[in-house]
Amino acid sequence: MNELRYNCAASREAKVSNAMLRRLGRPVLTVLRWQLVATAALALVAALLAGTHGALSALAGGLISVTAGLAAALVASMGSGKSAGGVVAGALRAEAVKIGLAVLLLWLVLVNYAEAVIGALIATFVVTLLIFAMAFFVRDY
């Protein structure tokens, strides 16, 4: 009988864990909106300062950061945080994916877009990357 009670309690905890994973979506979606707004604003500023190539470069920088952040969130949500070590390993894996993908995408843009305005590209990338870090501070209420 005690074993049944233990298994039922573990089953209830699994439901709580799934609910927590669903709630993680709100901070990520909120930060994604912030990143897209910042990308659009910086692309507009870059367009005024450097023309079409400045705007496209800023857009590329923002989209690189958004894409890398979404990939990291996906990897983090797939992790099984059954222990503190598992949570840390999942977070490190997600961060490694984010950094690797960001470096790859930056390299692809810089190699293939000869007219890229480096200042606009890097500035927008850095700003949106810092915005993604703010997901930690977004509340669920």
pLDDT given at position 17: 45
What does pLDDT average to in each consecutive run of 10 residues of the chain (141 residues)? Answer: 46 45 67 94 98 98 95 83 81 93 98 97 96 78 54
Tokens 């810089």 — which residue? 110
The burial class, CB within 10 Å (0-12 / 13-18 / 19+), for 56 is buried
Q: Does residue 63 belong to any structural domain of this protein?
A: yes
Q: Does residue 10 belong to any structural domain of this protein?
A: no
Q: Does residue 12 belong to any structural domain of this protein?
A: no
**Structural domain harbouring 67:** 24-137
Three-state DSSP class for residue 113: coil
Q: Does residue 18 belong to any structural domain of this protein?
A: no
Q: Does residue 108 belong to any structural domain of this protein?
A: yes
Q: Does residue 2 belong to any structural domain of this protein?
A: no
DSSP 134: G
Q: Does residue 37 belong to any structural domain of this protein?
A: yes
Taking residue 42's Cβ as centre, other Cβ atoms within 10 Å add up to 23
Q: Does residue 16 belong to any structural domain of this protein?
A: no
The encoded tokens of residue 33 equal 């909106």
Domain count within the chain: 1
